[in-house]
Amino acid sequence: MNYSTVSHSLKNNPMVPLDFKSLHTIPDSHEWNKSIVVDDPNTIEPIPIIDLTDPNAVSLIKQACEKWGLMLIINHGVPMNIVKELELQTYELFSLPSERKACAHRSEGSLFGYGVHRVAPFFPKLLWSEGFTMLGSPLEHAAKLWPHQPDQQTNFCTVMEEYQKEMKKLSGKMMELMLESLGLDSDDVEWFKPKMGIDRAQCMLQLNSYPTCPDPDRAMGLAPHTDSSILTILHQSSSGGLQIHEDGIGWIPVNAVPGSLVVNVGDFMDILSNGKYKSLYHRAVVNNTHHRISVAFFYVPPSDVKNEPLKKLIDDDNPPIYSPVTWAEYLQKKSYLDVKPKQGT
């Protein structure tokens, strides 16, 4: 991966998040005008919860991707003790004093470390959140976060590395199931041959923190956006906060279901499927009672591969709606357009 190009494309922002614990009002810099959530979520069809051991899982995934671009999965094979440890270590990190977290601040030109969320520079108002991005071992940053606690450094790194291994395995499984739901298989994707042990996808782990907010109706945890991934797997703490946008309805909460993980369609699955599976707009809201965390695992294509609609999905009646593009090229284009999807809605 060409990190310098990708980092520039992601509009790396050296800003350090606020010390949210010290704030009792919303600064003007962080004040948003949000639209309300759908009045009565019970009036809409529930977001699908799919058991991956269900014999009908493939057809259920197809329905979920076509209608929602998102699903909750259970019996996914990820040990819940690892998820629990992940959550504990994430809280441990974000509970550190601001000056200690700043020691692991994402440096100019780097993708990894502590800082504001990657979408923050695309919006005129700042976000009520903080993040930490990693690829593989976060040892370099852990040493800065806990300089005199080698055992804590080891515990943090062990949990994060183990979770990434589980996520890479699960992402590959979801990729296979989603391809199958499109009537395809791994032979249709040159860099993805799981039966041969080949999966060249790149992956990143993003820890997100949404501190309690004195006036949550005037703040935004994570602004509306789509993910520049093939798929994203999200764990969110029990307080919830994720919302998805449904045309004609508005913002719909995605409640946390114990033992489940959220899987959403990213921009590159939209491209590969020639628009059959649309990436969805989503955001995160905050509350005044619970410090919410979430952990997103981004499964993205190899940086050197031109991605385009898969050939078996193209015919005279279904011409390609996307041009070939690499991940880095796409990020640069997305950055250049400075797209602010669904802003203010």
- On whether the CB atoms of residues 218 and 238 are closer than 8 A, the answer is no
Q: Is 292 a residue of the active site?
A: yes
Q: Which residues on adjacent β-strands are paired with residue 206? A: 133, 296
The two tokens of residue 131 are 């993040």
What is the DSSP-derived secondary structure letter of residue 285?
A: -
Residues with catalytic roles: 292
